[in-house]
Amino acid sequence: MKKILLSVLTMGSLMSVQGALVQYSVTLDGLSESPVNASPGFGSGTVNYDNVTHSLQIQVSFSGLTGTTTASHIHAGTAAPFAGTAGVATTTPYFAGFPIGVSSGSYSTTLDLTLASSWNGAYITANGGTTSGAETALGTAMADGKAYWNIHSTTFGGGEIRGFLVPVPEPSTIALAGLGTLGIAGSAWNRRRINKS
């Protein structure tokens, strides 16, 4: 039984490491800004990173900004996870076609990470001078909780709402977590049964 469980765990780990698509969710608000602000604005979105096709599929919806949008991009990587600020990683001043001059809106696109135009030039330079270096750095920052999506507005030049990218557990990870929980519960039940007898 132990051998079977170990095999399942090992297989799950390998699937997790080799998976091409890494999914992140993002919740943007003023409380997550640095410095914190009292904006009632809110946004949510997803970022799907494919390390085989070298693409970043991004999507966001936002509303309730006190100002109107002036810029938006993903920053990486902060010194510590889920805190602080970092330089701009993606296209400046904003993603192509991002809605500017609005207090609510939605946006989605897929960035080709092999193109220099998908990046802030300085971010490429800071990471070996190649788009692949920039991609590796951003991929690591996202995985480590050190990348955030910021939306700047006319009332908050440094950003009205932002949110760190949070990994979305893969179905295999959820299944493994469930399996682990079941295993712990089963072990506890078995110990209790032995103690009673």
Contact residues: other proteins, CB under 8 A: 34-35, 66-71, 75, 85-88, 92-94, 97, 100-101, 109, 120-123, 125-126, 150, 152-159
Q: Which of 144, 115, 145, 140 is nearest to 130 (CA)?
A: 115
What is the closest distance, in whole angstroms, from the C-beta atom of residue 26 to other proteins in the complex? 17
49 vs 119 by CB, closer to other proteins: 119
Q: Which helix (H) or strand (E) holds 19?
A: none
What is the closest distance, in whole angstroms, from the C-beta atom of residue 46 to other proteins in the complex? 16
Q: Which of 170, 146, 153, 130 is nearest to 43 (CA)?
A: 153
96 vs 194 by CB, closer to other proteins: 96
Let me know how long the chain is.
197
What is the closest distance, in whole angstroms, from the C-beta atom of residue 170 to other proteins in the complex? 27
Instruction: Tell me the C-alpha distance between 85 and 18, whole Å.
Output: 30
Q: Which of 111, 109, 104 is nearest to 43 (CA)?
A: 104
15 vs 100 by CB, closer to other proteins: 100
What is the closest distance, in whole angstroms, from the C-beta atom of residue 51 to other proteins in the complex? 21
